[in-house]
Amino acid sequence: MSYIAVLPGDGIGAEVINESLKVLNAVEQISGKKYEIRKGDVGGGAYDKYGDPLPSQTMELIENCNSVLFGAVGGPKWDNLDPELRPEMGILKIRKKLDLYANLRPVKIFDSLKESSPLKYQLLEDVEILIIRELTSGLYFGEPKTTYNDSSERSAVDTMFYKESEITRILELAFKISQSNKLKLTSVDKANVLETSRLWRKIADELSVNYPDVQCNHMLVDNAAMQLITNPKQFNVIVSENTFGDILTDEASVLSSSLGMLPSASISFIPGESNLNKKSLYEPIHGSAPDIAGLGIANPIGMILSTAMMFEYSYNEKEISKIITDSVEKVINDGLRTKDITDSGKFCSTSEMGDAIYNQILLLG
């Protein structure tokens, strides 16, 4: 029996994860396999209940599971808490504790959604990008990280810190994925200004000798941000440090028409190599979207595609993963739209989208 820790979190996190539970139910029906679901509290809701965004009982649940499905955390209600108690600490601590150093964020553009993107249709032809974001180091974790309340004026510091081993393992993963899929690799940094980026670029150049068949280029992050929307076709695999990857993927979601469309897998192994006893976490790239929470209009597709990634990476069930992805594509091609991916004024609810995908999985399975 496989145990899945399900952590809905705050805002639309709980709404979209409900639709993933429908998908799990459909997968059980078509595969005959059972997945035991254990729900836990995380984020602002967990703080309200236990005074901790990652209570010990949730961590225990994670330690005993095979994989984690995560909704999203955060919201204005908790914005003024001490940094250690903020909901976002819930997810940051899980990533660190499970050493989930690689965050894979595929950017796929469904044909029938090209018209919903603000970009010109022809710019989106043949675009398929995998963004690999370093997830357990850099600006989000470096010390010192604090605010100084000096008598003359306030100041604050965050630290961008990377060890060679941290850079090497994420770049190796990116080279290996690019090599096995015969894809071009773009390493994004800010080597004209930042020391961490200069080390990053040096290590990338050293590693590239071991992967002569991978075409690897470097790009400064400000240029990459511009190129992503003016010439996205040039990218296959992008690898970058934590903060740059976070920002670039939100930007890349515009290509696929909405932030609600993009999934992610946070892993600590190289895909295709042994993942024995490695726990991974799957979450959409969006946050808790307080502006639409409770309205029943959130797009659950990023969450559902994250569930498809879970079957591929945690359970090696590539066929199941494909059935889920194909079901999403079929439902989209049939014209069903949540509010964020249509301008027509006619849209379905979160739950209607989940039901349609559920029914489609049963049909395809």
Stretch that binds ligand NAD, among 109-117, 135-143, 197-205, 285-293 (CB under 6 A): 285-293
Write the DSSP symbol of residue 153: -
Active site residue 150: no
Strand order, beta sheet including 128-134: 35-39, 2-9, 67-72, 280-282, 265-267, 102-108, 128-134, 237-240, 185-189, 216-220
3-state helix, strand, coil in the chain (%, to 5): 45, 20, 35
Q: Which of 190, 279, 313, 358 is catalytic?
A: 190
- Residue 288 to residues 53, 100, 158, 253, 284: CA-CA distances in angstroms? 14, 21, 24, 16, 10
Residue 74 binding ligand NAD, by CB under 6 A: yes
Stretch that binds ligand NAD, among 73-81, 236-244, 316-324, 326-334 (CB under 6 A): 73-81
Residue 288 binding ligand NAD, by CB under 6 A: yes
C-alpha to C-alpha distance for 91 and 246, rounded to whole angstroms: 14
Among 110, 122, 131, 101, residue whose Cα is nearest residue 267: 101
The reply to whether omega before 144 is within 30° of 0 (cis) is yes
Write the DSSP symbol of residue 118: S
> Which residue of 287, 311, 337, 357 would you call a contact of ligand NAD, by CB under 6 A?
287
Stretch that binds ligand NAD, among 31-39, 104-112, 165-173, 255-263 (CB under 6 A): 255-263
User: Binding pattern to ligand NAD, positions 21-60, x when CB under 6 A?
Assistant: ----------------------------------------
Active site residue 50: no
C-alpha to C-alpha distance for 283 and 71, rounded to whole angstroms: 6
Residue 69 binding ligand NAD, by CB under 6 A: no
Question: Which residue type, as a one-letter code, is found at position 229?
Answer: I
Please report how close the Cβ of residue 229 comes to ligand NAD at its closest, in angstroms: 17
Q: Which of 48, 99, 158, 250 is catalytic?
A: 250
Stretch that binds ligand NAD, among 29-37, 68-76, 137-145, 194-202 (CB under 6 A): 68-76
> Which residue of 14, 24, 73, 304 would you call a contact of ligand NAD, by CB under 6 A?
73
- Residue 227 to residues 15, 103, 251: CA-CA distances in angstroms? 34, 21, 11
Active site residue 334: no
Q: Which of 35, 47, 140, 313 is catalytic?
A: 140
Stretch that binds ligand NAD, among 53-61, 119-127, 189-197, 286-294 (CB under 6 A): 286-294
C-alpha to C-alpha distance for 41 and 50, rounded to whole angstroms: 9
Please report how close the Cβ of residue 12 comes to ligand NAD at its closest, in angstroms: 6
> Which residue of 88, 134, 189, 312 would you call a contact of ligand NAD, by CB under 6 A?
88
Please report how close the Cβ of residue 38 comes to ligand NAD at its closest, in angstroms: 19
Q: Are 133 and 242 in contact (CB under 8 A)?
A: yes
Among 186, 175, 111, 173, residue whose Cα is nearest residue 136: 173
Among 240, 184, 238, 241, residue whose Cα is nearest residue 211: 184
Active site residue 190: yes
The residue written with tokens 């690897």 in the block is 216
Active site residue 250: yes
Please report how close the Cβ of residue 225 comes to ligand NAD at its closest, in angstroms: 17
Tell me whether residue 58 or residue 288 sits nearer to ligand NAD (CB atom). Answer: 288
Write the DSSP symbol of residue 145: E
Question: What's the gap between Cα 325 and its chain centre?
Answer: 16
Tell me whether residue 306 or residue 325 sits nearer to ligand NAD (CB atom). Answer: 306
Q: Are 322 and 41 in contact (CB under 8 A)?
A: no
Residue 299 binding ligand NAD, by CB under 6 A: yes
Please report how close the Cβ of residue 285 comes to ligand NAD at its closest, in angstroms: 7
Please report how close the Cβ of residue 76 comes to ligand NAD at its closest, in angstroms: 7
> Which residue of 4, 21, 91, 324 would you call a contact of ligand NAD, by CB under 6 A?
91
- The footprint of ligand NAD (CB under 6 A) covers 12, 16, 72-75, 88, 91, 258-260, 283, 286-292, 298-299, 302, 340
Q: Known catalytic residues?
A: 140, 190, 222, 246, 250
